[in-house]
Structure 1
């Protein structure tokens, strides 16, 4: 083990970030850390989604106030910074980190986050984590965890990163990957999407990675015709910058918001609202009565489109291939104007509807999720470069079927919550190369209130520019041959 991991002096903590916490209460593990540990294990072992599991566990365990805030910070913070912590832990463990038992590694990451990225006093962070360790992994393995965390506590985050991160001048991608806790492949892909070359230093890529590790505000959308932004503001939300239906919650559980409880509003990122709204804004000649959301789960965009369709006396068919997600969609479109939304379990690559049946079609394709790393930080550790190659054929198929489902003169919106070039422009280019019946519309023209989103004819949102997820949008009109 390197000598630098055994330093007995802990320097001043220059990198603390305001995570809230308190020393362990009594000898046993406190409920906030126990919840966080269980969430992190479920994410690792069962591919659970933290943004879905954590709120349900907080309600189940009746955690509120400081305990809920601490559990949230520890869960999301540990996932966001996992790559950096693993590089540090690898230096502090006297064997390969991959050989450490998974349940022990989860505790080490949880302890590292408290030591390196919160204002919890070091002695409290170690003692509380080890109290939890004794309960969940036993006394023998907790001694190992205690020794490792005391080595981690020897330095603050900045000093550790100076040791474990590659030199920026020699390997800027590797430096950013370790410093900002992203897989190397993701840093490379994001830099390409931003049009940056590593030789230039990747300054904007670095700002994007920083934004991915910041806690996002919860955004909600008022269902058109059922609630207004003014209603959301009256309930304590703050009006969104760009979406006429959007608002942000400064704090608290969105499920407690009156309009969400009454199913008159849904949780939805502002960029997600805007790409759906852009599709609805495109003018079309003739009938405009049949709309399709071809990949509707979990239902945020479908809720907005159903409201807009109802106001125009149109109908939305929301299709979702998975039964469990289809139930979420059905809940989201419930109480839309004129009950304009209908949900069906269907695979849109093998659709049950006839060609040319719809006037407007949205394809929010399954993707790597690189655009939502603020909200789903574990996504960066679940995917790799091979994931893109696996997803692209599905994305192409969905877009091809969507075009065929659209009548001549109708419009298709192709959306991904990823800026990866292969999943966005690459898919559209490949699909259109084999067709002569589609015109690409300039998508930014339908979102003229939002600055700096146009990439040629397409739209690309960014967390560090717009405070939203990195949503991509292409708008396509099917022509009559």
Structure 2
């Protein structure tokens, strides 16, 4: 499978609900390293600003020549007078547009020819002239349209440029001032890179192995972490299978380090543990701690089981698959980490497919679940214990509003000041909690509120 075909294959699977990273990992054996790199580049530049690419392509289709009008062209995948463009054709237009306007080290002509050849091979030859005409116009005038969106005073245009779904703008405007939004939207354009959590005692040998592999790690601002200059598949890293390193963003590292700061004794409950990355960090950094992990998804639960074994900490971890609103802990936890399911708006640059699967109805359901989970965490936590409420969202509705509503009806919950301060990437919530902004390639956006459950009077 060539890189262009691989990108189209991955996008088709993403439309079915798969994560791009998983499909790329599964497809790796069918491509050379160079083709896999090209496929990944094309997929992510499409997904990070898909709405903008659709906007640009739609503009050229609507104002196109007689040929494009005869073939019923409009925005790819949208209704038009002559019907809908087939998904394969729409994706070819998106890949071609994004590639022509963002790829710096790949010949545009080769990309267009590869897409046209793919359409012919897939029995879509009647659309070849349309795609060729649109991509020729994109190559000539597309950069001007991108720059116009970047410079626009319209918040909607700025959202398109930044890759922020336009439907979500009301939530953003309720969360941040206009000047803050402009800064956040700029930060969301920073290409992500991988950071590594290094297992205790492995820093020197891992540094050497990474340099031998040409990865050139850099020191992080965080103890026990390294920075790479690009994103990597975890399984490709030297020492990964032996548990020497873990791919983890610096925002995630900071969140889990709060557990290290506030834990004193007793069982830690990780209510929504996912694939166990934060639990692994906690168990490695706190050699006397025991962690009970709950995860609703069977697939993520099994991944967490494998993660604990890879790190060699499974003896102190109890992993249970089930609903956090229904499970009962073996004993009352003295600290509860609740990394609640959310919109993921702070990670949209790193996991771009998730934002295009959201809607207002799903957003509202997530907020309702967050409130239920935080209330349950307060019920389960032992008196004088700590609840750390976390989302990877930058939207107030999922953060301060959730904390405020839950604590309003509970006299035994009191917020503890954040140790992060307000400089650099850290911002104070209004008034609850604290934010990490995605201010570097290694930082995702997070929100955190630390709550102490006071003993009943």
TM-score bracket, normalised by the shorter chain, equals 0.7 to 0.9
Q: Mean Cα displacement is larger for which, 317-326 or 379-388? A: 379-388
| Structure 1 residues 180 and 419: alpha-carbon distance in aligned structure 2, compared to 1, 3 A threshold | closer
Which residue in 1 is equivalent to 2:60? Answer: 92
Alignment of 1:43-58 (within 5 A): 43-44=14-15, 46-58=16-28
C-alpha separation between the residues in 1 aligned to 2:284 and 2:422?
22
Residue 275 of structure 2 is aligned to residue 275 of structure 1 = no
Which residue in 2 is equivalent to 1:222? Answer: 198
Asked if structure 1 preserves the Cα contact closer than 8 Å seen for 2:195 and 2:226, the reply is: yes
Asked if structure 1 preserves the Cα contact closer than 8 Å seen for 2:404 and 2:432, the reply is: no
Residue 413 of structure 2 is aligned to residue 438 of structure 1 = yes
Structure 1: where are the runs of 5+ without partners?
1-29
C-alpha separation between the residues in 2 aligned to 1:124 and 1:50?
24
CA deviation map 1:423-468 (0-9, x unaligned): 01111111111111112111225x7997634335522111136851
CA deviation map 1:42-96 (0-9, x unaligned): 112x1111122213322x21421x3232112111011112111111111222443
Question: What SS class does the counterpart of residue 383 from structure 2 fall into?
Answer: strand
Which residue in 2 is equivalent to 1:7? Answer: none
Q: How many residues align?
A: 430
- Corresponding residue to 1:112 among 72, 82, 97: 97
Asked if structure 1 preserves the Cα contact closer than 8 Å seen for 2:412 and 2:453, the reply is: yes
Residue 121 of structure 2 is aligned to residue 135 of structure 1 = yes
Residue 346 of structure 2 is aligned to residue 368 of structure 1 = no
Asked if structure 2 preserves the Cα contact closer than 8 Å seen for 1:361 and 1:412, the reply is: yes
Question: What SS class does the counterpart of residue 352 from structure 2 fall into?
Answer: coil
C-alpha separation between the residues in 1 aligned to 2:295 and 2:394?
23
Question: What SS class does the counterpart of residue 281 from structure 2 fall into?
Answer: helix
Which residue in 1 is equivalent to 2:209? Answer: 235
Which residue in 2 is equivalent to 1:454? Answer: 428
Asked if structure 2 preserves the Cα contact closer than 8 Å seen for 1:229 and 1:239, the reply is: no
Question: What SS class does the counterpart of residue 152 from structure 2 fall into?
Answer: coil
Question: What SS class does the counterpart of residue 452 from structure 2 fall into?
Answer: strand
Question: What SS class does the counterpart of residue 444 from structure 1 fall into?
Answer: coil
Deviation, 1:229, is 4.1
Which residue in 2 is equivalent to 1:266? Answer: 246
Question: What SS class does the counterpart of residue 141 from structure 2 fall into?
Answer: coil
C-alpha separation between the residues in 2 aligned to 1:50 and 1:419?
23
Which residue in 2 is equivalent to 1:184? Answer: 166
Asked if structure 2 preserves the Cα contact closer than 8 Å seen for 1:279 and 1:475, the reply is: no
| Structure 1 residues 303 and 211: alpha-carbon distance in aligned structure 2, compared to 1, 3 A threshold | same
Structure 2: where are the runs of 5+ without partners?
62-68, 79-83, 211-215
Asked if structure 2 preserves the Cα contact closer than 8 Å seen for 1:117 and 1:157, the reply is: no
Which residue in 2 is equivalent to 1:154? Answer: 140
- Corresponding residue to 1:249 among 228, 238, 244: 228
C-alpha separation between the residues in 2 aligned to 1:192 and 1:63?
47
| Structure 1 residues 453 and 161: alpha-carbon distance in aligned structure 2, compared to 1, 3 A threshold | closer
Deviation, 1:150, is 2.4
TM-score, with normalisation over the residues of structure 2? 0.87
Deviation, 1:283, is 5.4
| Structure 1 residues 185 and 282: alpha-carbon distance in aligned structure 2, compared to 1, 3 A threshold | same
Deviation, 1:211, is 3.0
Question: What SS class does the counterpart of residue 47 from structure 1 fall into?
Answer: coil
Asked if structure 1 preserves the Cα contact closer than 8 Å seen for 2:251 and 2:444, the reply is: yes
Question: What SS class does the counterpart of residue 111 from structure 2 fall into?
Answer: helix
Which residue in 2 is equivalent to 1:15? Answer: none
